[in-house]
């Protein structure tokens, strides 16, 4: 019957994990090493590469606060809320009535004209505020996308460094590594 020690089982399991992560790499023994020795060497080189690079591809990647792309919605300006035309009309009506009263004209006619002008002004302000909020949101999304791209590039570089370190180690132990 075949028996494996706990340490041997751990090496085999870890080697399988490492091998699955490095599916793109093929390792060939140059000096007639058997499968058990190759597994031990691959695990040893994995551990060494992790120590050298700080990257362990067998562990899930965790995003840091500085690299995680989170788009926060832009604050909605006061003027962009629904009813800004009505608020503008009310303000314009009050101003028009006061101006008409001061000038000795009909206050209701001044209020009507002021309301129309206020409504138009309120709508314009609302549109400008909405456009500004949309621009801010687009800028935030573009920045988040750029951060995500930079994080992916960094991750790819780190993984390439890990693979390079692992390859150097395996080469030193008498293996040919092909990607």
CB count within 10 Å of CB 100 equals 19
CA dist 148 → 46, 67, 73, 98, 154 (Å)? 27, 7, 17, 56, 10
- Written as one string, the DSSP assignment of 72-106 is PPPPPPGGGSTTHHHHHHHHHHHHHHHHHHHTTS-
Read off the pLDDT of residues 15-36 as tens digits, 9 standing for 90 and up: 554 444 444 789 999 999 999 9
Q: What is the pTM of this model?
A: 0.49
The string of pLDDT tens digits covering residues 102-160 is 666 666 666 676 677 777 777 788 888 889 999 999 999 999 999 998 888 888 899 99
Q: Is the pLDDT at 98 greater than 80, yes or no?
A: no
**What is each CA distance from 84 to 9, 111, 159, in whole angstroms?**
71, 18, 54
Helix (H) or strand (E) holding 46: helix 35-53
User: Higher model confidence: residue 117 or residue 98?
Assistant: 117
């Amino acid at each position: 019957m075949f028996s494996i020690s706990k340490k041997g089982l751990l090496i085999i399991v870890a080697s399988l994990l490492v091998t699955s992560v490095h599916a793109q790499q093929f390792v060939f023994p140059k000096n007639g090493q058997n499968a058990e020795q190759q597994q031990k060497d691959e695990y040893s080189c994995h551990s060494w590469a992790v120590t050298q690079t700080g990257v362990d591809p067998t562990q899930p990647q965790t995003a840091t606060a500085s690299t995680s792309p989170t788009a926060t919605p832009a604050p909605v300006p006061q003027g962009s809320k629904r009813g800004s035309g009505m608020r503008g009309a009310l303000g314009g009506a009050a101003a028009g009535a006061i101006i008409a009263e001061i000038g000795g004209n009909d206050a209701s006619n001044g209020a009507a004209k002021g309301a129309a002008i206020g409504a138009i002004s309120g709508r314009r302000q609302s549109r400008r505020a909405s456009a500004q909020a949309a621009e801010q949101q687009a800028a935030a999304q573009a920045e988040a996308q750029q951060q995500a791209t930079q994080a992916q590039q960094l991750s790819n570089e780190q993984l390439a460094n890990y693979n390079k370190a692992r390859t150097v180690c395996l080469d030193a132990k008498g293996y040919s590594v092909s990607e």
